[in-house]
Structure 1
Amino acid sequence: MPMLLSNFIPPMINGVSASKVFLKALQPQPQSVYQYLCLEFPHIEAQEWLQRFQDGLIFDAQGQKLNVNSPFQPNSHVFYYRFLTHEIHVPFEHHIIFENEHFIAVDKPHFLTISPTGQYVQETLLVRLKKQTSIEHLTPIHRLDRETAGIVLFSKCIESRGIYQQLFADRKVQKTYHAIAPYLPTLKLPLTLRLRMEKGEPFYTTRQIEGVANSETEIQLLEHNQQWAKYLLTPHTGKQHQLRLHLSHLGIPIQNDPFYPQVKHKDDHDFSAPLQLLAKHIEFIDPVSKQQISLSSTFDLTLSS
C-alpha cells in the first residue's frame, strides 16, 4: 500500500538519500510531473527520468509513488532518487580510523570521489559510508580531491556539524601531506611558497597570476633516491589544488598528476597511476570535548626505484 503520511520523510535506499524538488508554476503548465522534470532539468535525458518513474524512484509529498502520467500540481514538491545505470567501480577500499559520537575519520583511497556528482553515485565515499553506518545525515566536514588519498572527517551529529565545519573554516586544523615528486638538488629546502591563485582553464584547474599572494605552503624534504623525493607539505591556506600547483610551480610536479603542469586526460577505467599525494596527518583541539585530536593515515607513499 502507498504511504499516506502528510510529512513523508523518504528513506535512504542503498546509501542514497532522496532529492527534493519544488514544482513551481510554469506557463504553459506541464501536463505531468514527468514533463515538468524534463523541462526543468534539460541536462538530464528524458529517458533517464522515464527510467526513474519505471523503477519506482519518484514520490509525492505524501510518499505515494508517481508514474509517468502523474498530473503536475504547481507549488507542491516531489522526491526522487538518483542511481546510475552504468557506474565505474573504484577498486579501492576506505577505512574508518577513528569515531566518536560527533564525527568519523576515514582514510579515503585514491580515485574515490567524496560525494555524488556527475558519473559517480554509489562509487563515492559518502554513499559507501552511509551504507556501512546506516547514518543518513552523514556529511563531509571538509574535502579532498578525487585523486588525493588520506584522512577526511564526516559529521555524524547534525547539532555539532557547524562547530566542526567552522573549525576548518577558521584554519584551526593543522594538516600535513606527503607527496612524491622529482628530486631537485638545486632546490633549497625547507621553504615557504606564497602564490596568488585563481580559477584556470579548463575550469577544474587553477593557475598562478601576478598579485598579492592568497596561498601559502611550507615544503620540507623527507627523503630521496636521487630521482624521486618524498616531501612534507604543510598548507597554511586551503585553495583548490594548492599543493599540486605549488609543487608544479617549483618545477617538481607531483608524480602522476593529470592536471599539472599540463592536463592529460586519462581513461576513467585506468587506476594504474594514482596521484602521489596523501593527506597524512590531521590535528586539532576538539571543540566539544576540548581534547587534542591527532590522527594519521594508515596509507603511505613510497619512492619509486
Structure 2
Amino acid sequence: MDSGSTEIVVDCGFFRIYSDGRVERFAGMETVPAGFDADTGVTSKDVVIDANTGVATRLYLPAIHTAPSPPQSDDNGSHHLFARVVAVSVGYRLAPEHPLPAAYEDSWAALNWAVSRADPWLSAHGDPGRVFVAGGSAGANIAHNMAIAAGASGLRAAEQEPPPRVEGVLLLHPSFAGEQRMEEEEDGFWQANKRRWGAIFPGARDGLDDPRINPMAAGAPSLAKLVGERLLVCTASEDPRAPRGRAYCEAARASGWRGKVEWFESQNEGHAFFVAGHGSPEAVALMDRVVAFIAGH
C-alpha cells in the first residue's frame, strides 16, 4: 500500500472514504441472527429476493395463535400498544460502496416483492389491503421515494386479486437536504450534510436539489402524488434534520394530497434517539404513537 492510499478524501462522521477507495464505518453495522425472540414472541427469517445483487429482506412475524394483547401499563403509567404486523425490513445495498440510487432500486424491488406475497408468511398472514411504507432516517428518505414512485406508477402487483393497497406512510426523523440552507438549519450541520450526500449520491441531479434528496425542490414531483391515505411524520426537537421534516409535513398538507397528514415531535431528544434509548419514556411515547397510527386510531 503506498502512502497516498491512506489519505482521507471524505470524512462524513458516519464513515470515511480513503483515496484507495476503502470505506471505514463507525456505527450501524451490528446485526443479530434471525430466529425466535422469547421476550416478544416474534419470529424472524431472512429471504434473498435478488441473487444477482444479494439484496435480502428480514421478515418479522408476531405470535399469531393468541388473541391481540391488550394495552399494558408499566410502573410509570405509560401504555404499551402492540402493532401485530408482519414486517419486511430491506437489507438494501449501502452507500458509499454502492452509491444511490442503488438503495432506491433495491427498496422498490423489495416493496413490490412484499406486496406480491411471494413468501408463505406474507401469503398466509399479510393483509395486502393494509400495507404501510415506513422508515427511519435514511430509511425515511427511501420510504418517501417509494411512496412517490408507487403513487406515480402503481405497484407491479396491481393486477392481483385483491390488489395491494398502501394505507399509510410513516417517516421517522427523515433525512432530507437542499442546496439552500433553511433559516432554522444549523450551518455546520447543513455543510456536513451536503458533504455526506455528495459522497453517497454523486450522480444526483442538481446536487442537493435532486427531488430524491429535496422533495420540496423546484421541479420535484408534487407531494399530492404520494401513495396512501394517511401520512405520519415524526421529528425530534434536538435533531438538526427536524426543520426539513416539519417543512415536508407542511408541504404535504399544502399539496392538495387527498390523505390525512399527521405530525409528532419528541421533545428534548436528538436524531434516532429511539434506537439506543428504546426504553426511555420519550421512545415509548413515540412507539405508542406509531402503533396507534398503524392501528388507525
Q: Could you say which TM-score interval applies, normalised by the shorter chain?
A: under 0.3
- Higher radius of gyration, 1 or 2: 1
The structure whose residues are more often strand, as a share, is: 1
Instruction: Give the TM-score normalised by the residue count of structure 1.
Output: 0.25
